[in-house]
Chains A and B, each alone.
Chain A
Amino acid sequence: MGEVAHPVRIVSPFRARTIVLARRFRGVATQVLHNRSAVLGLGILIFFFVLAVAAPWIAPYGPLEPVTDAAPLSHASPSHPFGVNLLGRDIYSQVIWGSQVSLIVGVMSAFVAIVIGTGVGLISGFVGGWLDEVIMRFNDVVLSIPFLVLMIVVAARIGNLDLWGIIFVIGFTGWSVTARVVRGQVLSLKERMFVERGRMIGSSNAHIVIRHILPNAFPVVFANGILTIAISILSESVLAFLNLSVRNNVSWGRVIAEAVRNDAITNGMPEWMIAPGLCLVVLVFGFYLFGYALDEILNPRLRRR
């Protein structure tokens, strides 16, 4: 028996799957790195992510900690770059800490919305029939109520929300678009050959949905998820601005609301209002850039022709 020139590596199914996944991921990663707006978006996201994680070390004061060396409402100075607010808290630190709340609320509530939306979309698209009709008509009703209005009323009705409360309010009111997108994907995927083949060899419905349809719908779900995060961050800022968000923590919307209440601009503290707003704009801009670029890469229909 001679040597085999190119020995076939025999690997376990699990390992084979990881190899395939890693190869696919590497493909997407190269495409992302060759897309200028995706790189810019990713850079912005990494910056704010680092800011949020390192907030305890970067921020000179805690989010709600009063400073001792300056009077309330004192203007910007070297030790307090954005000044001090009415309750004697360092605004510069508050802006840094605000990135935590925005990112946590944005990511987690988008996650809630996507899990619910994907679940509903999968069931509705795969089962079809009267269940699909019922779910989609209900979805139409939810979609026809302006999202922000619904969210404001729900948040106000519950009142005194903590971090988890606000995450669930935004998540539970924001899943209908995802459900619709996923359903559309499932409708086209379930007519494909591999589903028929799976059925022929006796796979159960659950197996087909989880192992065949979900992985194929995943890229679209993921790209949609990035955009949902951006919308969730904006929603949180609106709620915080209307004083309906988390009470025991700072977020950028709340800092802006406080600046408005204290007439920051007239009192010569424009950075109080501008800095948190600019952070919000840049962060959401980053998510949109990255999300749209990813959508273009992962969603073959959008690919440039």
Chain B
Amino acid sequence: MPGSADLAIIPRDPKYQGFRQYQIAQFGLDKTPLEQFVIYLQKLFTLDWGVSYFYKKPVIGILAVDLSWTLLLVGTATIFTVLIGMAIGAYAAVRRGKPFDYLSTGFAIFFYGMPIFWLGLMLQTAFKRRSPFAAWFSWWPQLPVQGYYNNDLIPWQWDWTHVSDAGFHLILPAATLALGTLAGISLVMRSSLIDVMTEDFVTTAKAKGLSEAAVLRRHILPNGLPPMVSLIALDVAFILGGAYQVEYVFNYKGIGYRTIEAIGNLDFPLLQFIIVIGGAAVVIANLISDFVLLLLDPRIKIT
């Protein structure tokens, strides 16, 4: 993104010279970077996030729409990741040293090291319309691989056709994101539970004759879950990074797609606000995790 922003604002043609000067003055690009930064900070206090150079519209309006789609994608993926990842991790911990443990850990590390954009490309190839597999098996599912709902249905309305179509379009991107981040959660869950399982109170619980399931439910999980919650909150940054790749690959026009576009357009106000959103997401996730911890762990009290 080298080059000055004003070149991207208006066409490069001498006849736009006057308009260009006007726009430069309007966006404050004739001031020094330090001055621009101070002005940006001043505006932050009034929650004025600036105007997009490219769309000439307030940044917050553009990103509010994108953010709702990204939240849908990340939210769906996170719910599945957390539930399935924890289940796999817990089962691997219980079956430690057995084939399931080795297999799931091996697969987890394998998926952990897989670039999410490539995983998305592979899933796209496998499930797109008229994919090679669909030619072999008549039952093979064929899923939409682009955008958030069918272009014929634009504009958006709140009715069953639109909602179901959006859900249908969500399957592959969400599955990609979930698969890509599942591994981390299940690995941490496994090691966290194994840590707890070596404690003396677990031996005691087994010695007094509790069943395996009861030991897991009453003694291991309550002690193993709290560290997981804070780790999932930290993972939000990682999931967001994955969401960027997924959105780019699947043409899913959320925050991540907008970032790549804004980089191409040299649209700094948009980029600045995207970074702010990223930071805010992590902070909010940490806050929520603290509240969940409060519910899960009776030892923690608000002072």
Binding site for B on A (CB under 8 A): 141, 143-150, 152-153, 156-160, 230, 234, 237-238, 241-242, 253, 256, 260, 265, 270, 273-274, 277, 280-281, 284-285, 287-289, 292, 305
Contacts and interface: CB of A to CB of B under 8 A. Distances in A.
Contacts of B122: 274, 277
A285 B110 contact: yes
Given A149-B278, A157-B1, A234-B113, A144 B237 contact: yes
B279 interface: yes
Contact of A156 (B115, B121, B245, B263): B263
B125 A270 contact: yes
Interface string B217-245: 00000000000000000000110111011
A241 B278 CA distance: 21
A181 to B, nearest CB: 13
B53 interface: no
A148 B1 CA distance: 17
A256 B118 contact: yes
A262 B239 CA distance: 29
A159 B241 contact: no
B191 to A, nearest CB: 8
Nearest to B1: A156
B115 A237 contact: yes
A38 B31 CA distance: 57
Contacts of B259: 149, 152-153
B295 interface: no
A31 B278 CA distance: 42
Nearest to B183: A288
Contacts of B121: 256, 260, 273, 277
Contacts of B240: 146, 148-149
B1 A143 contact: no
Given A242-B260, A256-B118, A273-B125, 13 more contacts: A146-B281, A147-B237, A148-B245, A149-B244, A153-B259, A153-B263, A157-B1, A159-B2, A230-B113, A253-B115, A265-B125, A277-B118, A284-B113
B278 A145 contact: yes
Contacts of A253: 115
Given A160-B2, A242-B248, A256-B118, A292 B109 contact: yes
Nearest to A158: B2
A186 B112 CA distance: 29
Interface in B93-149: 109-110, 112-115, 117-118, 121-122, 125
B271 interface: yes
A146 B110 contact: no
B264 to A, nearest CB: 9
Q: Taking each of A146, A270, A273, which has the highest tally of chain B beta carbons within 10 Å of its own beta carbon?
A: A146
A183 B2 CA distance: 36
Given A146-B238, A146-B241, A285-B110, A238 B275 contact: no
A265 B121 CA distance: 10
Contacts of B282: 143-146
Contacts of A289: 109
B11 to A, nearest CB: 21
Nearest to B264: A156
Contact of A146 (B1, B263, B278): B278
A234 B115 contact: yes
A229 to B, nearest CB: 11
Contacts of A238: 115, 117, 245
A59 to B, nearest CB: 22
B237 A281 contact: no
Given A159-B2, A277-B118, A285-B110, A148 B263 contact: no
Interface in B257-303: 259-260, 263, 271, 274-275, 278-279, 281-283
B32 interface: no
B115 A143 contact: no
A146 B237 contact: yes
Q: Considering the complex of A and B, which 9 residue pairs feature the smallest CB-CB distances, nearest first?
A: A148-B241, A284-B113, A159-B2, A277-B118, A144-B282, A156-B263, A156-B1, A146-B237, A146-B240
B244 A152 contact: yes
25 contacts: A143-B237, A144-B279, A145-B237, A146-B278, A147-B237, A149-B259, A149-B275, A150-B275, A153-B271, A158-B2, A230-B113, A234-B113, A237-B115, A238-B117, A238-B245, A241-B115, A241-B245, A256-B121, A273-B125, A277-B121, A280-B118, A285-B109, A288-B109, A288-B113, A289-B109
